[in-house]
Amino acid sequence: MITESKRLICIVILFMLLVFPLSAAAANHVVVIDPGHGGSDMGVKLSKSVYEKDVTLAIAKLVRENLSGADGIEVRLTRLDDKNASPANRRKIARKSDVDLFISLHVNAGFGVKAKGYEIYYPAASVPSIKKSSSGEILKDMKQTRRLNSCVRFAQIVQKDMGKVFPREGRGLINAPVLVLQSITAPAILLEMGFATNIESKKKLRDEKIQKAVADALSKSIKKYFSTNGAS
């Protein structure tokens, strides 16, 4: 027997479901941010106590914070704290079928003490085979071309937005076989944000205001990428 109070509860639940549909929170676009290094793998040294692993994690977290209220965008990180995520684990997170964009964050070193600026790597295109034996192979090639176009389009957006944080410090887009990017099916870039071997550059990367500016620029780029037609 249904009591009066149970009937009232049922009515209230039905009303709530009508007013707040369960699907409202679903994200349309998933971005994976990969803060380079972590744990005992410290990356390059920026000061006595600050390493590449700290800066990449701080910026990744800021991007996630920035976009947490953004319409239809979900940000996932390959590591949430100072632990070294194995390359296999990073790839596992990045290769999930719903991932739309992958960004790996790093800090450069070398090329002499004067070298500074940011570099954006995108995956090298595989050499197309001349003989096409099946429609499956042609389709695979088309998919790869589409992915490569998306990588370049996103890299160009990032290059422009990063240029506002580090004016005239862009070292260009580099098409290279970067291991972490090659194994991912979603459009992907690796951003080298500056040089630990340059005094001015490493000072900037340690600065929390600059870290926030880099995170803001990346957040803007991600929003722009998804709001422009052709985003996959």
53 is a contact residue toward Zn ion (CB under 5 A): no
38 is a contact residue toward Zn ion (CB under 5 A): no
Look at strands 118-123 and 170-176 and give their pairing: parallel
Closer CB to Zn ion, 91 or 106, in the complex = 106
Distance CA 200, CA 221 (A): 25
Please state the closest distance from residue 145 (CB atom) to Zn ion, in A: 29
* CB count in 10 Å sphere of residue 166: 19
Range 104-123, binding Zn ion (CB under 5 A) = 106
36 is a contact residue toward Zn ion (CB under 5 A): yes
| Total number of residues that touch Zn ion (CB under 5 A) | 3
Under a CB-based contact definition with an 8 Å cutoff, are residues 197 and 113 in contact? yes
From the list 191, 194, 222, 189, the residue with the least C-alpha distance to 207 is 194
Closer CB to Zn ion, 36 or 194, in the complex = 36
Query: Which residue's CB atom is positioned nearest to Zn ion?
Result: 106
35 is a contact residue toward Zn ion (CB under 5 A): no
Closer CB to Zn ion, 38 or 43, in the complex = 43
Report which residue type is found at 83.
K
CA distances from 90 to 9, 108, 132, 145, 201 (A): 46, 20, 33, 24, 27
Under a CB-based contact definition with an 8 Å cutoff, are residues 164 and 228 in contact? no
Closer CB to Zn ion, 107 or 210, in the complex = 107
Please state the closest distance from residue 131 (CB atom) to Zn ion, in A: 39
Closer CB to Zn ion, 51 or 225, in the complex = 51
Please state the closest distance from residue 197 (CB atom) to Zn ion, in A: 13
| Window of 43-51, 94-102, 151-159, 174-182 that interacts with Zn ion by CB under 5 A | 43-51
What does residue 126 show for φ and ψ, rounded to 5 degrees? -75, 150
Please state the closest distance from residue 201 (CB atom) to Zn ion, in A: 14
Distance CA 189, CA 126 (A): 16
Closer CB to Zn ion, 43 or 194, in the complex = 43
43 is a contact residue toward Zn ion (CB under 5 A): yes
Closer CB to Zn ion, 64 or 106, in the complex = 106
Please report the DSSP string for 86-123 in residue order.
Answer: -HHHHHHHHTSTT--EEEEEEEE--S-TT--SEEEEEE
Range 78-107, binding Zn ion (CB under 5 A) = 106
Please state the closest distance from residue 55 (CB atom) to Zn ion, in A: 10
As a whole number of Å, the CA-based R_g of the chain is 22
Where along the sequence are the contacts to Zn ion (CB under 5 A)?
36, 43, 106
